[in-house]
Amino acid sequence: MKIGLYDVDSKIPNLALMKLSAWHKKQGDEVELYFPLKKYDKIYASQIFTWSKPQYKFNELGGSGSEKWETVLPNGIEHIYPDYLLYHCEYAMGFTSRGCIRNCPFCIVRKKEGLIHATNDIYEFWNGQKKIMILDNNILALKEHFKKIANQIIDNNLIVDFCQGLDIRLINKENAELLSKMKHWKQIHFAFDYISIEKDVRKGVSILKKVGIKPYRLMFYVLIGFNTTEKEDLYRVKVLNELGCDTYICAFDKTQKYQRDFQRWVNHKAIFKSVKWKDYKKIGHSKKINININQKSLFK
């Protein structure tokens, strides 16, 4: 069979498609990333974001952003070593746990995968690469499992990225020290989605500082447009800025102008460091912005 793998919108190599590729190649099938002008016997499509729309025909659709978000890979495919050659991917990536202890109303993880549980270790998807991307949704919730995975990363001298973010509410001295012993590929990611966890954010950053992890090495995802006000959005960004941490705004609904503008204001660092929010929201994307570096009154 000739198999086409249609990556609708992934920002990174699509793990599910790489596993499907590995499985089909074991069956002797010819596999490649989908190309619109070619004919295939079967086309799998994977959609990550709800706002994306597949532009081409397919036979099977899955992924967290699709209507069939609850679909999971069969066990024999889920635990296969990924075909990294599909994307010419030079780093390893995968899950060591599934599910979450939280049940956030904007997230489908708990509904799809249930309560958090360990599934495997890094050796299922790592085989000598220098870098590794861990996709677990809340690995710190599994104390002993995180210790095991952390030590595998440290012992193999790997450069790691906890891509989905870690739970700042679960940071303690023990796991902070393990994080400090790792080589981090990018900033260490956390989330500040609720204004009610401000104390946890401040406490977690303080613990990380005490073990030698500087605030500038921390990046917080901040969800806007779900159940917060503009004032609360601005306050969370202000808190992180004062702590010395980086912020990445995640807009819940990108069709809303306020969310698009606020996201661009914060995420475009040259603008964020130069233009007050009260000025930026007046002009948004419509006019050229004159950059004048002055960080003293950005939040007024």
Whether residues 63 and 134 share a domain: the answer is no
Whether residues 194 and 282 share a domain: the answer is yes
- Least confident window among 68-72, 88-92, 146-150, 247-251: 68-72
Whether residues 10 and 109 share a domain: the answer is no
**pLDDT of 293:** 40
Evaluate if residue 236 carries a pLDDT over 50: yes
Q: Write phi, then psi, for 156 (nearest 5 degrees).
A: -95, 5
pLDDT digit string (tens) for 73-103?
A: 999 999 999 999 999 999 999 999 999 999 9
Whether residues 98 and 161 share a domain: the answer is yes
Domain boundary among 178, 212, 236: 178
Query: What's the whole-model pTM score?
Result: 0.89
Whether residues 26 and 53 share a domain: the answer is yes
**pLDDT of 289:** 53
Whether residues 31 and 96 share a domain: the answer is no
Asked whether residue 83 is assigned to any structural domain, the reply reads: no
Confidence of residue 283 (pLDDT cuts 50, 70, 90): confident
Asked whether residue 21 is assigned to any structural domain, the reply reads: yes
Whether residues 140 and 244 share a domain: the answer is no
Evaluate if residue 20 carries a pLDDT over 90: yes
Domain boundary among 35, 56, 78: 78
Asked whether residue 85 is assigned to any structural domain, the reply reads: no
**pLDDT of 282:** 81
Average pLDDT on 260-273 reads: 93
Evaluate if residue 297 carries a pLDDT over 50: no
- Least confident window among 93-97, 123-127, 225-229: 225-229
Whether residues 211 and 131 share a domain: the answer is no
**pLDDT of 284:** 61
- For position 99, which CATH number holds? 3.30.750.210
Provide, rounded to the nearest whole percent, the portion of the chain with pLDDT above 70. 94
Whether residues 166 and 230 share a domain: the answer is no
**pLDDT of 299:** 54
Sheet holding 60-62, edge to edge: 30-33, 2-7, 42-46, 60-62
Whether residues 101 and 22 share a domain: the answer is no
**pLDDT of 296:** 44
What residues contact residue 140 under an 8 Å CB cut-off, 6+ apart?
146, 166, 167, 170, 171, 175
Asked whether residue 84 is assigned to any structural domain, the reply reads: no
Asked whether residue 72 is assigned to any structural domain, the reply reads: yes
Asked whether residue 102 is assigned to any structural domain, the reply reads: yes
pLDDT digit string (tens) for 173-223?
A: 999 999 999 999 999 999 999 999 999 999 999 999 999 999 999 999 999
Q: What is the mean pLDDT of the chain?
A: 92
Evaluate if residue 254 carries a pLDDT over 90: no
Q: How far is CA 1 from CA 10, 28, 179, 298, in A?
A: 25, 8, 45, 58
Evaluate if residue 47 carries a pLDDT over 90: yes
Evaluate if residue 295 carries a pLDDT over 50: no
Domain boundary among 155, 178, 201: 178
Separation CA 225–CA 196 (nearest Å): 16
Q: What one-letter code names the amino acid at 253?
A: D
**pLDDT of 163:** 94
Whether residues 214 and 288 share a domain: the answer is yes
Evaluate if residue 238 carries a pLDDT over 90: yes
Answer whether 243's CB lies under 8 Å from 215's CB.
yes
Residue 68 vs residue 253, higher pLDDT: 253
Q: How many domains are there within the chain?
A: 3
Asked whether residue 52 is assigned to any structural domain, the reply reads: yes
Whether residues 191 and 160 share a domain: the answer is no
Evaluate if residue 260 carries a pLDDT over 70: yes
3-state secondary structure the chain: CEEEEEECCCCCCCHHHHHHHHHHHHCCCEEEECCCCCCCCEEEEECCCCCCCCCCCCCEEECCCCCCCCCCCCHHHHCCCCCHHHCCCCCEEECCEECCCCCCCCCCHHHHHCCCEECCCHHHCCCCCCEEEECCCCHHHCHHHHHHHHHHHHHCCCEEEECCCCCHHHCCHHHHHHHHHCEECCCEEEECCCHHHHHHHHHHHHHHHHCCCCHHHEEEEEEECCCCCHHHHHHHHHHHHHHCCEEEEEECCCCCHHHHHHHHHHHCHHHHCCCCHHHHHHHCCCCCCCCCCCCCCCCC
The parent domain of residue 100 ranges over 90-178
Q: What one-letter code names the amino acid at 289?
A: I
Asked whether residue 167 is assigned to any structural domain, the reply reads: yes
